[in-house]
Amino acid sequence: MTGPERSSGLEGGEGGPRVPEGDTAGGSAGQGALTRSILAEIRAQGPMPFVRFMELALYHPRLGYYCRRREEGNGSPVGWRGDFFTSPSLGPLFGTTLARFFCQLWREWRKPRPFWLIEAGPGPGWLACDVLRGMADCEKAAVRATRLGLVEAGPQPQAQARVAEAARQVGLGQEPVWARSLGRLAKAWGWDSGGPAPTAVLYANELLDAFPVHRVRRGRRGLEEAYVDAVPLGRAGRRTDGHPHPFRWRWGPPSTPALEAYLAWQGIRLRLWQEAEINLAALAWLQELDQVLGQGKACALLIDYGYLARDLVDPTRRRGTLLAYYRHQASEDVLADPGGRDLTAHVDFSALMRKAQDLGWQVREFTSQGRFLVQQGIVEEAQRMAAGAGQSEEERRATAQALRQLVEPAGLGQTFRVLALQKG
Ligand SMILES: C[S@@+](CC[C@H](N)C(=O)[O-])C[C@H]1O[C@@H](n2cnc3c(N)ncnc32)[C@H](O)[C@@H]1O
């Protein structure tokens, strides 16, 4: 990443630096194709805001990290054979504990039928399977009332098959429905053609940290945004400055006034040269959530790593939170190998709560993951699992280990937060 030297505006752009077609950041031919495609866009339109680079790197329809077809392993970048772990990848305990919360809501809401249940960003689908099995254990009638929808930007066939199998096992009333956006799911369920407003629960684990973010910093003359440019070539057609890949950072004026407006709205004042990410997509997603679920009775359970705005701009945090993950190694070089590595940034929960409240939602709960899971009875759930017939010693040990990881502050218990929003 670049240091804090200031640049007054963007140079280059039209007819800008050229990089040879075959020059890729390594990785598979597919990822090389994405590098070439991004370079072509930079050549045609000038340096791109980082948010656009991240969008292509993760969600290019064929080559993006989350959208490319994965035949190998479990068809997902999550887990031992992937690039990073998530709570559901530690075993069923996380999902079966969340299931207790969903059953509690179902009872609290006087056992609605149908009970619409939506997972946003299910990735490999393990969480949905564990939730269904957990609900079947705690409240069979709730499962029979449940209609399950999965909203996934890059649906993988293995995940769809996995969830379909779990749905069959627990006797879910109807086949799970997959869609690429909440709006499309609402359409598939006929919610857009009148009828009674739905009673629904939406849950998402590590969804919002995977949204493309703008990267900004405070310069001497005001807010600046990070752009991605191509590395210039020397006379021999080679990159001259020892870059490991064909991209470099450029700082320029904000690509949209929404960035300055966001900071003002949040009351955030960055220090000179302090960097931060702004996740405008998360706010737009909340707006869509409200359009789809806001007319009925709804709860949205959002679990992610993140902070409150004041922590995000703490003076000790000068470089923001952006990271790339590949095979369980984190790297700050988020421009290398687009499409080959996960990119992620911490979530600003202050902004989420404020936006949700502006849309008429209430904060039912905002707490650490560890505390939330203990409240829902994860300890009892772990004991129930361990006492289950046919559990091997190894499985019991795995459950105990998952419990510690999910709850303890040194594991995921403190860095992950749970935000439960409610409306209606
Ligand atoms: C970090 S993974 C988490 C996967 C899973 N929830 C877990 O905990 O293991 C993020 C997932 O969110 C999906 N995603 C990102 N943006 C999305 C959106 N706007 N709508 C639906 N899914 C999205 C990605 O494709 C990816 O599968």
**183-195 CB burial, b ≥16 within 10 A, e <16:** ebbbeebebeeee
- Report DSSP letters for 162-176, one per residue: HHHHHHHHHT-SS--
CA nearest to 352, candidates 305, 316, 318: 305
Which residue type sits at 177? V
Please provide the average confidence, as pLDDT, over all residues in the chain.
89
126 CA: nearest ligand 1 atom? 9
Confidence band, pLDDT 50/70/90 cuts, at residue 202: very high
Q: Look up residue 396 and give its two tokens.
A: 């019991």
Domain borders along the chain are 87-205+361-423
CA 123–ligand 1 middle distance (angstroms): 5
Contacts 24+ apart (CB under 8 A), 167-175: 167/132, 169/132, 169/133, 170/132, 170/133, 170/135, 170/136, 170/143, 171/136, 171/143, 171/144, 172/132, 172/143, 172/144, 172/146, 172/148, 173/114, 173/144, 173/145, 173/146, 173/147, 174/147
285 CA: nearest ligand 1 atom? 19
Mutate to test the pocket of ligand 1, among 78, 94, 207 (most ligand atoms within 8 A of CB): 207
**Cα dihedral sign, 184-162-127-28:** negative
**312-347 CB burial, b ≥16 within 10 A, e <16:** bbeeeeeebbbbbbbeeeeeeebbbbbbbbbbbbbb
Q: Whose CA is nearest to atom 27 of ligand 1?
A: 123
CA 294–ligand 1 middle distance (angstroms): 22
CA 58–ligand 1 middle distance (angstroms): 10
CA nearest to 313, candidates 343, 273, 283: 273
CATH number for region 87-205+361-423? 3.40.50.12710
Q: Whose CA is nearest to atom 18 of ligand 1?
A: 153
List the single range of 67-76, 163-172, 179-188, 380-389 with lowest mean pLDDT. Answer: 67-76
Mutate to test the pocket of ligand 1, among 130, 151, 152 (most ligand atoms within 8 A of CB): 152
- pLDDT tens for 339-383 read 999 999 999 999 999 999 999 999 999 999 999 999 999 999 999
- pLDDT tens for 282-306 read 999 999 999 999 999 999 999 999 9
Name the residue with higher pLDDT: 116 or 80: 116
CA nearest to 302, candidates 190, 417, 193: 417
CA 159–ligand 1 middle distance (angstroms): 12
